[in-house]
Amino acid sequence: MNCDPSELRLYFNEFPRPPPANVIKAAREALRDANRYPEDKLVEELKSLMSSYAGLKPENVHATSGGEYAFYELFTRLVRPGDSAILLEPTFTSYEPILKVLGVKVHKLRLEENGYRWILDKDKLFSLMRTEKPRLLVIDDPNNPTASPMLADEDLVREVCSSFGGYLLLDEAYTEYAGYSASKLVPEIGNLVVFRTMSKAFALAGMRVSILLATKQLIESIEGFSPRFELSRPSLAAAVEALSDPSYAFRNADFIKSERERVRRALKSMNGLKAYESFTNYILMRFNYPQLIDSLKIRLMRPAFDNQYARLSIGSKLENNCAVSALRDSLNSGE
């Protein structure tokens, strides 16, 4: 096979192809007015399209920059120094540093391995919530890096939200790959916030467009604090064009899901490696020989949460074939 594993870029969970030509054209044309700040009407148009996509009203939508900034905007409105927050372990790494900067006490609930999935023990969660009385509970669903579903059930989301006086943030960055979302519960549940992004299935990671979905009151609070010009003209133009016909994102998601299962079947056939079920665009792997993660001459992974686990992003068919071949060769030589 004619490929160089060292050139692979399969560790950022990006979509392997650029967005459609019309989306690129919209971003390029927006550069003609790069000397002008974005008009409010562009933001309002984006909010309208985002709300339609999520099945909500524009008043429930805040359009913002990449995930880290979106979390900062949200957390500064919800927590104060000395408050408690609960995170999963493992989880997306950006939550904790922001919370600690804000003076929040972080408590962690360890996920449990169960066959080819990782699960959130509901009883342990409720027990920790009773003990710590958190102002904020953050759950990435599906979880990053395990790629497993966490709540994925509307009644369970309702039960969690009704059990404490703080806010639940559901990070649904991979919702198009997972096939489920709690976003339609936002008008019903006052302490639920849902995060979405256009970095994954919409193939717009470089544009840094994210979405917070919440009650009208919370959105107004966030936008009263936020900078007026959060997103650039090219980012706004690309996002508006993409959401005007989001069908390509669904096709992208279908491609990833198909390739994800094909790659996982290949990985499962290898000795010395366990490939977990995935509801995202990457696969979590556990190595029987942890030293291989450091010695692999493949630019496709970094340790996930300890030195026995690593993630493999799903790329193009060629990239996936190359990665599978390189992994097989490394495992065989490692044995």
Mean pLDDT of the 309-317 span: 91
Give the tens place of pLDDT for each residue, 208-241.
999 999 999 999 999 887 767 789 999 999 999 9
Which architecture does CATH list for 21-245? Answer: 3-Layer(aba) Sandwich (3.40)
Beta partners for 138?
Answer: 87, 169
Q: Who's near 160: CB < 8 A, 6+ residues apart?
A: 125, 137, 151, 168
Give the lowest-confidence range in 72-86, 129-143, 179-193, 285-299: 285-299
Q: What is the pLDDT of residue 291?
A: 64
161: pLDDT strictly greater than 60: yes
Kindly state the tokens that stand for 274: 């366990």
> What does the domain layout of the chain look like in residue ranges?
5-17+248-334, 21-245
The residue written with tokens 């508006």 in the block is 240
Give the tens place of pLDDT for each residue, 104-132.
999 999 999 999 999 999 999 999 999 99
Mean pLDDT of the 144-161 span: 95
C-alpha distances in Å from residue 26, one per residue of 33, 231, 247: 12, 15, 17
What superfamily does domain 5-17+248-334 belong to in CATH?
Answer: Aspartate Aminotransferase, domain 1 (3.90.1150.10)
89: pLDDT strictly greater than 90: yes
Q: What is the DSSP string of 273-286?
A: EEE---SSSEEEEE
Give the C-alpha separation, 92 to 95, whole Å: 7
